[in-house]
Chains A and B, each alone.
Chain A
């Protein structure tokens, strides 16, 4: 509790005291994930995700001697891939994902840093197929780690690993009778340039 209170208090005081220690990052990578849904029409149909190029922007501030709190915005360019027994796989609807997470990071092991957070991800897609009634806005939990590859003064290059968890469904799927949600696990790998003021 004290951690979150401290985070909020420090965030309020941000401009005055901590901007000098702010860290900004820009990252690029690729994100893969488990299936978005499964249907059954004579045989199983899996709606999977193709590897999506993903870009991130982040900013964080120290909240203690070791931990930082920050936000991360991500933009992914995804596409569904339909796999069905007895049929050749093919590409389905394309979509973008716009994610916004609030989280914290800190040292984990030697130079390795952890990050965890929670936020929202909006699926942006043409109104067709499973997104006919629009893309969903999903709660996203994220875990990850950053490993500094090169550090030179205030600038550094870090290797990034991110795991995201969502529960997926869409209004269109629900409207035709799909129930419950699909656990979606995503894993992203990438590089990010960090600048610490």
Chain B
């Protein structure tokens, strides 16, 4: 006689065998993102050429250490920007933290205009404030000089939209420091050259996720 317990055990085994044949299916991610890679013109023995460079922080560098100048509430805006970008990722591909020692920083955010000698700046021109990030690819183009310098500064003091502007521009510039080296052509995206968005769009999210799963051609170097 078959014992009821044996029968139940066999039923459990049978159920496991019957259902154990399913794999999760990931979504298709096409058409949402814009190009984030840096198009760089250079000369090779008098011949003008163009290079397409991509960068993301290596996993071993995380969390990226960000030093922020304590002006205009900038540290809080950068912390908000860090949380905003971090939330774009599913697998912890990027993370950052604000540090107090600029000597160990991977990214330095100043509340001043960029120095005039900077030659590789990406600007964000918002209404009440302006941002810029210096993407210095070093002479051989395959290295990104660390610390990366970003600037978020006030252009219209006392403007009622200043706080909103600083949030937007801080998020935009942090995006550049993460490796989004081009501007979006869509005015609703945070990475548009004249950003007005107060949150990441689906395109921003798709683009930064793509950037962190695309093989980087530049590595961070500290002189």
Is there an interface contact between A180 and B91, defined as CB atoms closer than 8 Å?
no
Q: Is A38 engaged at the interface, CB distance under 8 Å to the other chain?
A: yes
Q: At the interface, yes or no: A21 with Cβ under 8 Å from chain B? A: no
B79 CB to nearest A CB, Å: 16
Q: How far is the CA of A38 from the CA of B214 in the complex (A)?
A: 17
Answer yes or no: B138 CB below 8 A from chain A CBs.
Answer: no
Cβ contact within 8 Å between A176 and B213: no
Cα A179 to Cα B26 in complex, Å, equals 7
Does any Cβ of B come within 8 Å of A130's Cβ? yes
Q: What residues on A are CB-neighbors of B12 within 8 Å?
A: 116, 118, 141, 143
CB contacts between A and B, total, < 8 Å: 112
> Contacts A84-B213, A93-B92, A178-B27; is A3 near B20 (CB within 8 Å)?
no
Residue of A nearest to B212 (CB): A41
Per the 8 Å Cβ criterion, residues 85-111 of A in contact with B are 86-88, 90-93, 104, 106
Contact of A181 among B22, B209, B214 (CB under 8 A): B22
State the Cβ distance, B11 to closest chain A Cβ, in Å.
Answer: 9
> DSSP class of A's interface residues: helix, strand, loop or mixed?
strand
B213 and A42 contacting across the interface, CB-CB below 8 Å: yes
Q: Provide the residues of chain B in CB contact with A187, threshold 8 Å.
A: none
Chain B 80-92 interface 0/1 with A at a Cβ cutoff of 8 Å (1 = within) = 0000001101111
A183 to B15, CA, bound (A): 13
Q: Identify which of residues 100-137 in chain B touch chain A, using a CB-to-CB cut-off of 8 Å.
A: none
Contacting residues, chain A, for B5 (C-beta < 8 A):
3, 64, 66-67, 104, 106
Structural contact, B25 and A116, CB atoms closer than 8 A: no
How many angstroms from the CA of A104 to the CA of B8 in the assembled complex? 9
Contacts of A40 in B (CB 8 A): 26
Q: Does A182 contact B (CB under 8 A)?
A: yes
CB-CB contacts below 8 Å: A36-80 with B:
37-43, 45, 47, 64, 66-67, 80
**Those 5 A-B pairs whose CB atoms lie nearest each other, nearest first:** A177-B27, A3-B4, A182-B24, A41-B213, A39-B26
A to B CB contacts below 8 Å, 10 in the list: A3-B3, A41-B29, A42-B214, A67-B5, A86-B215, A90-B59, A104-B5, A129-B92, A143-B12, A178-B26
- Taking Cβ atoms with an 8 Å cutoff, the residues of A that contact B are 1-4, 37-43, 45, 47, 64, 66-67, 80, 82, 84, 86-88, 90-93, 104, 106, 114, 116, 118, 128-130, 132, 141, 143, 165, 167-169, 172-173, 176-183, 185
B residues apposed to A, CB below 8 Å? 3-5, 7-9, 12-13, 15-16, 19-29, 59-60, 86-87, 89-92, 209-210, 213-215
